[in-house]
Structure 1
Amino acid sequence: MDFFTAQDNARRKTGQLVVLLVAAVIALIAVTTVVVAIVVRFMGDDRGSVTANNLLAALSPELVAVVALGVVALVGLGGLFKRSQLRRGGGKVVAEALGGREISPSTENANERRILNVVEEMAIASGTPVPPVYLLQEAGINAFAAGYDTSDAVIGITQGAIDHLNREELQGVVAHEFSHILHGDMRLNMRLISVLHGVLLIGLLGYILLRSTATRGRAVRRNNSNGKGAVVVLALGVALAVIGYAGTFFGNWIKAAVSRQREYLADASAVQYTRNPNGIGQALIKIGSLTQGARIEASQASEYSHLFFGQGMKLGFTRLLATHPPIRQRIKRVMPSWNGEFNAPLSAPFDGDMEKAGGGSVVGFADTPSAHAYSSAATMNGTSARMAIASMGQPGPRHLAQARTMLNALPTRLVDAAHDPYAVRALMYALLLSQNIEVRKQQLASLQQTALPDVYREVMNHAGDVLMLRDQLRLPLMELALPALKNLSVGQATHFRHCMVELINADSQVNLFEWTLYHWLVHHLGLGKKDSGPAVRKLSDLQQECQLLLNVLARAGQSDPDKVNAALDAAEKELPFALNVKREAPDIKALGPAVSRLGRLRPQQKPAVLQAMARCIEHSGQIKPAEAELFRVIADMLECPMPPLLIESD
């Protein structure tokens, strides 16, 4: 399934979710109305009896209207409140609600470093920003991905998983979670949390009131000689419990209806990404072998049960409400030769992969460039960009291997600095330093006045290494730095942005890489205004924006007017309108708002833009690092995660 089809399917699932919610609300209104009628009739009947006739008499249109209004208001307001809460914090809210703590990017714990390495490799291989990783102190083997988009996504992993799974198995689990990110499942899951919060809120309210009415009932029995008051209180408590159970039942029913099939698809994607069915298969076998299984004990685990890698909650009397398929079926699908026995060894001895960024081996693919390939000019042929588009949402072992190669090619000092909260800012400043000595002197003088003293010292420590860095390694370094940058406070982030602006304006002009770095960081750190709204724009409505984007991209690899025109002619063949070729250089400062508006294109309109961009940079038969860099960053800003353009070995 290609990326855009998967995104479209996820949107259709959202429509299905609305239908299921409406059905659940109607059922809840019916249950609540009957329960309220019974309680009201019981309290108004001196004999304390309820018959079919007097119950029907109590079911007045007025009662139905009042109950319906109350249920709809509670479900609606509860859902809006939860949506607002999740929108503010993204996946971080979910991770912290489950008791998770963020694993520091600079951790020295070997097992924690291993899971960070695996996540970094998978993120770079898939073209998504490296997400923060949260550790849950849970004995079960489980994981989850949460967030509305790639900018606020997080990966959660349990202590049981990093204790019991080896690197290969962790890679399979992480690949499964990245499938949910890439195919739109993660966003759907977050919407599901918001939608169901109101439904589950009824259940929560019922249980709270039941506990309070139980206490009140004991007081009534002590102080009221007439036992009817105690019976009424007890009846009210039971009624609330019934309503609460109904809310929980319908919530779990919706989760099960939306979730289960997507787990099979994510398992299959994990095998495709790694070309190693044993990784995810053995992880599932270890879940079956472990006494704790995949269970999550956190108090809010039930609310987020559909996010987990494995069935995190105990099943009740039926599997119909299970959010995940049976584990035996999942294993058989990825490992048909499995003997059916849960006898995997649960020890995961550390396998020597305390790499500087992500060593180890990629199972199933060896034909990838070695680290020394990055010591000379990279070679990306004329089809690399279109191959990357075809691989969106479905990176393969070759992308994973190239991600690891790029990370291993980075100097160790820079990798360590990318994980440090002070040094990481210095790295981004150093990337903006000009190769021109006079301009660089002006930049450093300005930075000394505006940056924090500790950060400025780090700039001076790392500037030499950064200035020597190959162009094709700049984007991997930026991606590696993102989790540490996301830990900046609002004040620190604002100051960070101010310092970047000062560095860029030092020579009174903005070059292509300065634009790329600045806007990529602003986009992912939430430092700028986005053209908010639903993705409903048509490409024909954004011809000027598309024209500007392609004009900038055509000039990224060459300055000769004839070659620029040839690049635009190639791009024009992918568009439903003609491009107006201008002789003068485009205003690069206008590119940011243009890309923001293009981000609101309908998903099925975006492939034409991406294909036009690919044609634009491929026309010469060779893609330069600056072209590839801009191509991937703009695709990322359009919410189209692009795997690395594959480099050919010499």
Structure 2
Amino acid sequence: MNFFEHQAAARRNSSRLVLLFVLAVAGIVLAVDAAAWLVFAGKGASVGETATMLVFTSVLTLAIIGLGSLYRIATLRGGGESVALQLGGVAVPEQSNDFHLRRLRNVVEEIAIASGVPMPRLYVLEHESAINAFAAGYSPSDAVVAVTRGALERLNRDELQGVIAHEFSHILNGDMRLNIRLIGVLFGILMLAIIGRKVLELGRGRDRNAGAIFAAALIAMLVGYIGLFFGRIIKAGVSRSRERLADASAVQFTRQTAGLAGALKKIGGIDEGSRLSHRGDAEEISHMLFGDGIGLRSWFATHPPLLERICALEPGFNGEQLDRLRAKWHSAPPDGLEEDAHLGLADVRQPPPLPCVTAEQAVTPAAVAAQVAQPGADDYRRADAISAHIDDALRTLATRREAVIPLLLGLLLDARADIADRQADEIAARLGKTIALEARRLARQANEALHPALRLPLASLAFPVLRLRPRPELDAFLDTVNAVVYADGAVSLFEYCLARLLTVQVRESLDPSRYARFGRRRIVEVRGEIATLLSVVAQAGNADADAARKAYLAGMQRVMPEHPPYAPPAGGVLALDDVWVPLDALEPVAKEMLVEAITATIGHDGRIAIAEAELLRTICATLHCPLPPMLGNA
């Protein structure tokens, strides 16, 4: 499946989750009503009294489940970070002397650049010696990736890359959003069991009604375990198939099976395996983990059998080989860093060069759409080159809290001095003269030191630090970003789209649950918005009006055979303010067509320059369709 098919499948799974939740709630209500009926029928209550009591118990049960789910969903409004902190995660600092943490950050940066998504925040479960990991969040803008200390110490670099690539597939394909909602939904159907258990623990009482209270609590707990049964069935049904797809995606990302297979073998071979020590928390997030965190089997297993996952990657592998590895590692557990040194994975290799600024790439719209959220081996090589060629001074600034705002504003400043002066005045009016002067200095440094293909990745690497700033500062930053864009009507389309992308990502990180949704709109509902976007893109890329019209038609024929005539809006790029929300709400298949249309418009002659490729990536990222860097072969 490609990215858009994954998105459509995630949307169907979301609807399926709602149906399963309704069935689980109905089962719990019926069980409570049956228990109440037995009690009241045994006491000789009339039919009317019994009916009234059944209505009361049904409403009370529904209220408990509903309020429980709403409460848990509210606690998860903070997105992925709240899940990582619940598990005892410790944030990985941007600069660290711990080589395990530096290696983790390097691997994640490489995959983030290759995937075209913002760098997620990183957490380590320091007290977990098992090998496991998870990605959590509502969208890539608030995503976190957490790994156990055991994974850092036991896995070599290739194996760690395989695990991280597996988790990135969940980030890219919409699985995270479903996973975090599943936590909130399932908490509600477990409420009766939780209440019953707490009453039994606290109410060993001396009250004369203690027997009745004990009986009611016992019934609540027993009926609540119906919720636990349904919850585990739902998690298993939703999770297993997506874990298989994530394994396949990780192999597609890295173009090698040895890393992921090696990580799975170590899970099966070391004593700790993948089971987390905090069983209660692991139960709640078991469907999000890389490996089985609690040891359930059969119907309740959230992951395919470990040997099955390994054999899918290495068909000749068998249980006897796993037993031999288990015996070997029982006395001498594996050390990932030692394996890196032995395999030569720790060597510093010369990165490939970046393409010439004037280089062009042959592209086809269908091939570009197929690359969305599907990085391959070539994209990882390009990510290596990009990471290695980012100016060290600018990279350091991207990791410093006090420098990240002027750095990002500097990337937005126009190359023309008169326009940059107006933009700096807008910055000074909102954030102070010191930040304005620093932004001007960094803009000059970026113009001298950054290849066009490095601006967007640098912004992506800076994003985790940016979202650590206090909310009032982020609100002021967004206001300044918009002021910089509107400082002069001559702003370029790339600068406008980069500013829009920053705005989208910051807003989503501030209120992640508010912006988490699957699109459902169809092409016919957004004809005007598509025409506006393609008109602006065609006009920006072609000085000649006839060439711009041809570019517009090339794009429109991809998405709408019967389309509005070419008519560039009077407001130029600023007319795009009204198109992003409707276009981002398109259903997955429609978005695929839109990406093809944008590609056809930008590269209507069949070739795209580096600057045009970065513009395409920025537009697609704004529409939550992340593209790998430097499309095609230069």
TM-score (ref. length: structure 2):
0.89
**Corresponding residue to 1:149 among 128, 136, 139:** 139
CA distance in 2, matches of 1:440, 1:292: 57
Measure, in 2, the Cα distance between the counterparts of 1:531 and 1:265: 25
SS in 2 for 1:144: strand
Structure 2 residue 392 is matched with structure 1 residue 412:
yes
Matched residue, 2:565 = 580
State how far apart, in whole Å, the 1-side matches of 2:497 and 2:290 are.
35
Partner secondary structure for residue 367 of structure 2? helix
| Residue among 161, 171, 181 paired with 2:171 | 181
**Quick one: distance in 2 between partners of 1:540 and 1:58?**
55
Report SS of the residue matched to 2:146: strand
**Residue 575 (structure 1) shift:** 2.3
Deviation at 1:584, TM superposition (A): 6.9
One-letter identity of the residue aligned with 2:522: K
- The alignment status of 1:388 with 2:388, answered yes or no, reads no
Whether the aligned pair in 1 keeps the contact of 2:522 and 2:590 (CA below 8 Å) is: yes
How far residue 321 of structure 1 moved from its aligned partner, in angstroms, is 1.2
Q: How far, CA to CA, are the matches of 2:531 and 2:491 in structure 1?
A: 20
Tell me what 1:546 maps to: 530
Q: 1:73 aligns with which of 39, 45, 63?
A: 63
Which residue number corresponds to residue 639 of structure 1?
Answer: 624
The alignment status of 1:324 with 2:324, answered yes or no, reads: no
CA contact (8 A) 2:569 2:575 kept: no
User: What residue number does 1:49 align with?
Assistant: none
1:106 corresponds to? 95
2:532–2:568: 8 Å Cα contact kept in structure 1? no
Counterparts of 2:348 and 2:365 in 1: how far apart (Å)? Answer: 26
Which whole-Å deviations, capped at 9, do the CAs of 1:310-356 have from their partners, x for residues lacking one?
Answer: 111143xx532121122122111112232233345421126789xxx
Matched letter for residue 192 of structure 1: L
2:246 maps to: 266
- What does residue 365 of structure 1 align with? none
Query: Partner residue of 1:347?
Result: 335
**For residues 38 and 507 of structure 1, what CA distance do their matches in structure 2 show?**
76
* Residue identity in the other structure for 2:457: P
Match of 2:275 among 276, 295, 307: 295
Secondary structure (helix, strand or coil) at the match of 2:275 reads coil
Residue-by-residue CA offset, 1:223-245 (whole Å, 9 max, x unaligned): x6xxxx55444433432331232
Cα separation, 2, equivalents of 1:432 and 1:261: 42
Cα distance in 2 between the residues matched to 1:647 and 1:608: 19
Q: Distance in 1 between matches of 2:554 and 2:233?
A: 51
- Matched to 2:459, the amino acid is M
Task: Measure the CA separation in 2 of the matches of 1:569 and 1:360.
Answer: 50
Q: Structure 1 residue aligned with 2:229, among 218, 233, 249?
A: 249
Please state whether the residue corresponding to 1:205 is helix, strand or coil.
Answer: helix
8 Å Cα contact 2:614-2:629 kept in structure 1: no
Q: 1:467 to 1:274 in 2, by over 3 A?
A: same
Identity among equivalent positions (%) equals: 35
1:491 and 2:464 are equivalent in the alignment:
no
- Distance in structure 2 (CA, Å) of the matches to 1:55 and 1:460: 82
Answer whether contact 2:340 2:346 (CA < 8 A) is retained. no
**1:50 corresponds to:** none
Q: Which residue of 2 aligns with 1:140?
A: 130
Name which of 278, 285, 288 aligns with 1:307: 288
1:22 counterpart residue number: 22
Task: Note the alpha carbon deviations across 1:384-438, whole angstroms, 9 max, x for none.
Answer: 6542311224321111221221111111111111111112112112212332234
Q: Which residue identity does 1:323 align to in structure 2?
A: T
Larger Rg over CA atoms: 1
Partners of 2:109 and 2:364 in 1: CA distance:
22
1:532 CA drift (Å) = 9.2
Paired residues for 1:432-443 under 5 Å? 432-443=412-423
Q: Which amino acid aligns with 2:172?
A: L
1:337 aligned to which of 313, 316, 334 = 316
Q: 1:109 deviation in Å? A: 2.7
Q: Which has the larger share of helix? A: 2
Residues 1:623 and 2:608 are matched in the alignment? yes
Structure 1 residues 59 and 329 mapped into 2: Cα distance closer, same or farther (>3 Å)? farther
Select between 16-25 and 582-591 the one with higher mean Cα deviation.
582-591
> Take 1:433 and 1:360, find their aligned partners in 2: how far apart are those partners?
38
User: CA distance change for structure 1 residues 621 and 238 in 2, over 3 Å: closer, same or farther?
Assistant: closer
Task: List gaps (5 residues or longer) in structure 1.
Answer: 45-53, 363-368
Amino acid at match of 2:311: K
CA gap 1:340/1:314 in 2 versus in 1, 3 angstroms:
closer
Map of 1:196 onto structure 2: 186
1:121 partner amino acid: E
Q: Which residue of the other structure, out of 494, 499, 510, is the alignment partner of 1:518?
A: 499
Contact 1:38 1:55 in 2 (8 A): no
Q: 1:136: how far off?
A: 1.6
| SS of alignment partner, residue 281 of structure 2 | coil
Aligned partner of 1:595 among 561, 571, 580: 580
* Match of residue 377, structure 2, among 374, 397, 419: 397
- Separation (CA, whole Å) in 1 of partners of 2:190 and 2:359: 55
Q: Is contact 1:535-1:603 (8 Å) kept? A: yes
Offset from partner CA, 1:543-571 (integer Å, 9 cap, x none): 22111111121133321112212211211
Aligned 8 A contact 1:133 1:156 in 2: yes
Cα deviation, residue 37, structure 1: 4.4
Q: Which amino acid aligns with 1:133?
A: L
**Match of 2:156?**
166
SS at match of 2:134: strand
Amino acid at match of 2:381: A
Please state if 1:562 is matched with 2:546: yes
Distance 1:574 1:161, change over 3 A: same
Aligned CA distance change for structure 1 residues 398 and 492 (closer, same or farther; 3 Å)? same
Query: For residues 282 and 541 of structure 1, what CA distance do their matches in structure 2 show?
Result: 48
Deviation string 1:454-473 (CA, Å, 9 cap, x unpaired) is 74575466444302122221
> How many residues get paired?
615
Q: How does 1:426-505 map to 2 (within 5 A)?
A: 426-444=406-424, 447-448=427-428, 450-451=430-431, 455=435, 458-459=438-439, 462-468=442-448, 469-505=450-486
Q: Provide closer, same or farther for how the CA distance between residues 509 and 97 of structure 1 changes in structure 2, counting only shifts above 3 A.
A: same
Instruction: State how far apart, in whole Å, the 1-side matches of 2:45 and 2:257 are.
Output: 59
**By how many angstroms is 1:144 displaced?**
0.8
1:12 is matched with 12
1-structure distance, mates of 2:564, 2:234: 48
Cα 1:73–1:285 shift into 2, 3 Å: same
Structure 1 residue identity aligned to 2:526 = L
Distance in 1 between residues matched to 2:230 and 2:602, nearest whole Å: 52
State the 1:127 CA deviation: 2.3
Cα deviation for residue 301 of structure 1 reads 2.4
Which amino acid in the other structure matches residue 292 of structure 2?
Q
Secondary structure of the 1:395 match is coil
Q: Partners in 1 of 2:132 and 2:37 — Cα distance? A: 44
| Distance in 2 (alpha carbons) for counterparts of 1:59 and 1:193 | 37
Question: Contact 1:29/1:71 (CA < 8 Å) preserved in 2?
Answer: yes
Q: In angstroms, what is the RMSD of aligned CA positions?
A: 3.0
Q: When the two structures are superposed, what TM-score results if normalisation uses the length of structure 1?
A: 0.87
Contact 1:207/1:244 (CA < 8 Å) preserved in 2?
no
Instruction: Give SS of 1:642's match.
Output: coil
Secondary structure of 1:405 counterpart: helix
Identify if the C-alpha distance between structure 1 residues 618 and 504 changes in structure 2 by more than 3 Å, giving closer, same or farther.
closer
Q: Alpha carbons of 1:449 and 1:258: their partners in 2 closer, same or farther (altered >3 Å)? A: closer
